[in-house]
Amino acid sequence: MYYVNVERGVKLAVYDLNPAGKKTVFLVHGWPLNHMMFEYQFDLLPKLGFRCISIDLRGFGNSDAPWNGYDYGRLADDLYEVIRMIGVSEMTLVGFSMGGAIVIRYMSRYKEYKISKLALLSAAAPCFVSREGCPGGLPLEQVNSLVAQISRNRPQAIYDFGQNFFAQPVTPPFAEWFRSVTLSGPGYSTLKTAETLRDADLRADLEQITVPTGIFYGVLDKICPKELPLTLNRKIRNSKLFPFEQSGHAVFYDELEKFNQEFSSFLTS
C-alpha cells in the first residue's frame, strides 16, 4: 500500500499488486465498502498476469476522510489523480455499485483518459433512485429512509441494507467480516455518499463512453434492479451484458467461480 495526494491535505490509499503485470486493471469499490471487497478477485488477477490496482475512496478504509468532496465529480477527480500518477498507457477501469457510477463520471469528465476498456458491476447508474424518464431504481422514499437512519443508527442502517446484498447464503464468519468492512468509514462520509447516490443523474455521461464495456449484473439484484443494467446497455455504445441468474447485488461473490471466469475472460479478450 502507498498513498497518493489527490488534493491539498487529502491522500488516498492505493493497493498495487503485481506491478510487473503486462495489463492493468483498476478496481473501484462500492458503498459503503473499501478495497477489501475485491479480495477474491485480488487472489486471481495477478496470477493471470494483471497488474491489479485498487483504492479506498476518500472517506473509507485507509484513505483520508475530509469533510467535503463526496460528489461524483470530486470522486472522479480523485481517480484521475491516481491514474495520472500510475503512468501506464492504458488500463481496464472497473466499478462496483457506487463505484460504477463514479467510473462513469470519470469516463465522461476525463474523456476516457488512459482507459481502453470498462467494466460495470451492479452499477448504481444511471440513476440509483427512480425518477421521471429514468425508471428502474429504488423508490425515493426508501432511499430517504436509509439516509435518515444513517444519521440515527448507522450500524443498524448498514445491517438492514446488507440484508439485500447477497442472493446466496453466506457463512456467519463471512457475514461478520463483511459488516466490518461496511463500517470502515466515519458516519459523515457514509452519509454524504448516500446522499450523492440518491441525488445523482448520470444519463448525460453515458453518451461519452465509447470503449468496450462489460455490464455485469445479478438478475436477483434488489438494490440495483436489472432494469438499470438494461438501460446502461441501451445507452452505452459497444456494451455487452453479462447476466448472472443466481446472483443479487453481490455479483462479484454470489456465483464466485462463474463470475471470476467470465470477468477474467472479458479482461483478457
Cα 237 to Cα 48: distance, rounded to the nearest angstrom? 28
In this prediction, residue 43 carries a pLDDT of 96
Amino acid at 128: F
Grouping H, G, I as helix, E, B as strand and the rest as coil, residue 33 is: coil
What pLDDT is attached to residue 244?
Answer: 98
What is the pLDDT tens value at each position of the chain, 269 positions in all? 999 999 999 999 999 999 999 999 999 999 999 999 999 999 999 999 999 999 999 999 999 999 999 999 999 999 999 999 998 999 999 999 999 999 999 999 999 999 999 999 999 999 999 999 998 999 999 999 999 999 999 999 999 999 999 999 999 999 999 999 999 899 999 999 999 999 999 999 999 999 999 999 999 999 999 999 999 999 999 999 999 999 999 999 999 999 999 999 999 99
DSSP state of 186: -
Domain boundaries, the chain: 2-268
Q: How many CB atoms lie within 10 A of CB 207?
A: 11
Phi, psi of 20 (to 5 degrees): -85, 0
C-alpha cell at 78: 480523485
CATH architecture of 2-268: 3-Layer(aba) Sandwich (3.40)
What pLDDT shows up at residue 216? 98
Pairing of strands 213-218, 239-244: parallel
What DSSP element (H or E) covers 242?
strand 239-244
Distance, CA of 196 to CA of 214 (rounded, Å): 24
Answer yes or no: are the C-beta atoms of 250 and 34 closer than 8 Å. Answer: no
Contact, 226 vs 217, CB < 8 A?
Answer: yes
Instruction: State pTM to two decimals.
Output: 0.98
Residues acting as catalytic residues: 97, 221, 249
Q: What is the pLDDT of residue 124?
A: 98
